């Protein structure tokens, strides 16, 4: 009987992530990839708050290994972003105020915005030039959550708050990296060479 909740949570999370990933629109992904390939000789800024910010950083690390000129909002050496640069903003609800404010400033200075969110019609979704919708339960009001569950068919009472969104986004990003590696013709050996030496 021990660890029943643990075991069921594992199962539900993986199933939830699997379902969520299967619903990602490939045409949305294709547009994002093209925007990122365009941005190879520009700066990319990753924006996210809380756990979404951590997922964004994990993505930024991989992009750095692929030689993208990538930065993370809030870190020390993040330079000016301007016209033609690319912002990848992550927010499950699409309403996280600091992320929305940051994306709006980025838009004002001429950067292109990709939003990764469950809610294309949210504030963040509306600001964005392009949205990749990743379903999954997010930190919005209970009623809307309930609605969302009906829409997505994902029931995950054991996955608290934004878990499914965050994990699905992380798998999404890592798969995107695999696609980018293939398109850019990078080998894993090259990745390894760029990996931080001091840790």
Residue placing its CB nearer to a second copy in the complex, 126 or 174: 174
What gap in Å lies between CA 84 and CA 10, rounded to an integer? Answer: 41
* Contact region with a second copy (CB under 8 A), list: 57-65, 116-124, 126-134, 147-155: 57-65
Q: How far is the CB of 145 from a second copy (least distance, A)?
A: 10
Residue 150 vs residues 110, 135, 147, 158, 166: alpha-carbon distances, Å: 38, 12, 5, 16, 19
CA angle in degrees (0–180, nearest 5) for 12-146-102: 90
- Taking CB under 8 A as the criterion, the residue among 36, 39, 51, 125 binding a second copy is 51
Residue 5 is a binding residue for a second copy (CB under 8 A): yes
Residue 71 is a binding residue for a second copy (CB under 8 A): yes
Residue 143 is a binding residue for a second copy (CB under 8 A): no
What gap in Å lies between CA 68 and CA 63, rounded to an integer? Answer: 5
Q: How far is the CB of 120 from a second copy (least distance, A)?
A: 20
* Contact region with a second copy (CB under 8 A), list: 116-124, 128-136, 146-154, 163-171: 163-171
Residue 2 is a binding residue for a second copy (CB under 8 A): yes
User: Which residues are within 8 A (CB) of 13 and not within 5 positions of it... i.e. 6 or more apart?
Assistant: 156, 158, 159, 163, 164, 167
Would you name the residues annotated as active-site residues? 166
């Amino acid at each position: 009987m021990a660890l029943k909740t643990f075991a069921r949570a594992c199962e539900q999370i993986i199933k939830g992530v699997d379902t969520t990933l299967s619903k990602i629109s490939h045409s949305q992904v294709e547009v994002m990839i093209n925007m990122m390939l365009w941005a190879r000789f520009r700066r990319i800024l990753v924006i996210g708050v809380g756990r979404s910010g951590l997922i964004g950083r994990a993505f930024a690390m991989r992009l750095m290994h692929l030689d993208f000129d990538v930065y993370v909002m809030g870190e020390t050496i993040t330079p000016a972003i301007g016209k033609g640069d690319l912002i990848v903003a992550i927010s499950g609800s699409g309403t996280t105020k600091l992320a929305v404010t940051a994306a709006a400033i980025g838009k004002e200075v001429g950067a292109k915005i990709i939003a990764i969110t469950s809610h294309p019609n949210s504030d963040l979704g509306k600001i964005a030039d392009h949205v990749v919708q990743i379903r999954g339960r997010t930190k919005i009001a209970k009623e809307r959550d309930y609605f969302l569950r009906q829409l997505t068919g994902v029931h995950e009472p054991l996955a608290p708050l934004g878990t499914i969104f965050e994990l699905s986004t992380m798998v999404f990003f890592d798969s995107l990296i695999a696609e980018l590696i293939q398109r850019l013709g990078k080998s894993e050996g090259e990745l390894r060479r760029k990996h931080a030496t001091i840790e």
